[in-house]
Amino acid sequence: MIVLELLTLVAMHLTVIVKDYPHRMTQLDSKSSGALKKSSRYRSRSLSASSTDSYSSASYTGSSSDEEDVSPRERIQKNTAGFSDFCVRNITQHAFGRREIEIAEQEMPGIMALRRRAGDDKPLKNAKIVGCTHINAQTAVLIETLAELGAQVRWAACNIYSTQNEVAAALAEAGFSIFAWRGETEEDFWWCIDKCVNAENWQPNMILDDGGDATHLMLKKYPAMFKMIKGIVEESVTGVHRLYQLSKAGKLSVPAMNVNDSVTKTKFDNLYSCRESIIDSLKRSTDVMFGGKQVVLCGYGEVGKGCCQALKGLGCVVYITEIDPICALQACMDGFRVVKLNEVIRNVDIVITATGNKNVVTREHMDKMKNGCVVCNMGHSNTEIDVNSLRTPDLTWEKVRSQVDHVIWPDGKRIVLLAEGRLVNLSCSSLPSFVVSITAATQALALIELFNAPHGRYKSDVYLLPKKMDEYVASLHLPTFDAHLTELSDEQAKYMGLNKAGPFKPNYYSSLGRVSRFFLEHIRQIITIKQALYRVNTFRLTRCSSGTVKFSDFISYVVLQFFQCVRICFVHSVFQATPQIKITHFTRSWIVDLEGADVSSCRTITRRERCLTENVMQLVLIVLRKIILKELG
């Protein structure tokens, strides 16, 4: 009897499928024709149509195919409580997203410990935070922690491909205003950020940014609203660079916290996270065998170092391109060959960018690549690889799988482009939750610090997280490894000049790449500094009306130029090695005319004048050292 009922049900099911077959085929045809009629704006943003797929180890992909071609902006959705102030791909996926968040919580001990310790105090009560970061399970843990600490949030994605749709749905189901889905268009991207900034009965007072998009949109479109902001927390190289540009131009009217250059970000997230996720991304998207492959990695910062360690460990032959001599020397001493991209581009199997710059890999480079070369980006934005130059009639785009495209040349050569040049480890895989916990805890503490800081503590500039907070974040994660810290004795603490409870590093301590990253971001200023130093060394002594040399003018010029040289470094907290600086340039004769004036009007300064100059400069150094050490506490 049971067997008969089962056979009956199977027969009924087959009948429904057969009857529905013509209708399904009609829908399929209409979708195909509709896809061809999509706007050129959408095609230029995503030729691979991979935006609708969620390709992550922790990402549910069984979303409704009937709704994939319909923008979430065109649908009104509500969660089970009737809340509708959100825009996600499919709210019905919330159960899958909730399970992913629960898994992430188990691997994020630091941020969960902070939630438990500070939850009762509500240090972010009355904070209204605009968030613009990647939206995944780890970010969801941060968002829910901020809410537990008393904050109200509105959140958008900083990358059109990194959103996990089911996680966004879970947050919307929990009552959060989330505006993000995987595969946004350019217009969707800015619309989502705008919805987070400008809403009824909403005046944001904090920004948590990744890349600076929310900051710049609010500054340009809502300047009055921007003036009400108490602080900005930025976690990416790109975003920090943009903040420094605003500060230099005098347009940064609020204090900002540079989380990217905190120790807990550079030494953990940038290094360990990238070390694991680059391999995961390439394996999932291309199934490549790494042993023996030739790889060129553009940029040897913290991200580049992590990628190189992983690739070298799996047997790759790794080349480095670098503009900074300090990072280049590190690469050489780590056993990598530093080259120019054109030297190796014809032979390498994989090209990876990690610079934070633009047009690092150009169309000219891609024209020279060999057939089957894999090209991807580990930097923040989509500008490192000149993808727009590939959108020409002579090249054919062919979708292989989610976030994987073949770009085919007329002669049949093809390269494999991952995530259309966007962040590959968040588009093609996921990140280790434990490492993200360190960054998330750092971001939360930075928000707490800026929001609760008394008026006047932070001016309109870019700051690093206080070292005590860096150490606190690290201590939150030590119990996971059953790690126990050694305590200093009173005698040891006195000998080292430290407090037994910390901080154990000065505020200027960050990482080996700190100064080099600053030089990369301010290369023009560095050139100016070098020119100023050269002018000091080659100062042309002028003559007054009586024909005698005004040596007082020379001393004034030297002091002025020296202060001018160190001013930029000091403002940006990079003049941190000052106590070790030695003046070695003042032992030469000052006879060169830099600007090509009549050499007969120049003369060599006397030994007495040179000694006096050196004494003045040493006094300047002593004063500067005292000022800086006082500022650094």
One-letter identity of residue 104:
A
Q: How far is CA 358 from CA 428, 444, 529, in A?
A: 21, 30, 25
Q: Which of 115, 179, 102, 141 is nearest to 436 (CA)?
A: 141
Which class is 43-61+71-266+432-468 in CATH? alpha beta
Q: Are 124 and 212 in contact (CB under 8 A)?
A: no
Q: What 3-state DSSP class applies to 257?
A: strand
pLDDT one-digit tens code per residue, 454-463: 988 999 999 9
Q: Are 240 and 258 in contact (CB under 8 A)?
A: yes
SS3 for 168-188 is: HHHHHHCCCEEECCCCCCHHH
Q: In the beta sheet, which residues pair with residue 338?
A: 320
pLDDT one-digit tens code per residue, 370-403: 999 999 999 867 889 999 999 999 999 999 988 8
Distance CA 25, CA 39 (A): 24
One-letter identity of residue 328:
A
pTM comes to: 0.65
Displacement of CA 468 from its chain's centroid (Å)? 23
**DSSP E strands: which ranges in 354-447?**
374-377, 396-401, 404-408, 414-418
> In which region does residue 213 sit, left (phi positive, over 0), alpha (psi from -120 to 50) or beta (all else)?
alpha
- The H or E element that residue 365 is part of is helix 363-368
Q: Are 509 and 263 in contact (CB under 8 A)?
A: yes
Work out the end-to-end distance of the chain between its first and last CA atoms, rounded to an integer number of angstroms: 85
Query: What pLDDT score does 88 carry?
Result: 97
Distance CA 387, CA 363 (A): 8
Q: Which of 618, 536, 514, 525 is nearest to 569 (CA)?
A: 525
Query: What pLDDT score does 626 carry?
Result: 59
| CB neighbours of residue 486 within 10 Å | 6
User: Starting at the edge strand that comes first in sequence, how are the strands of the sheet with 294-298 ordered?
Assistant: 337-338, 317-321, 294-298, 350-353, 374-377, 414-418, 404-408, 396-401
How is domain 289-379+383-421 classified at the architecture level of CATH?
3-Layer(aba) Sandwich (3.40)
Identify the segments of the chain with pLDDT beneath 70. 1-69, 380, 507-633
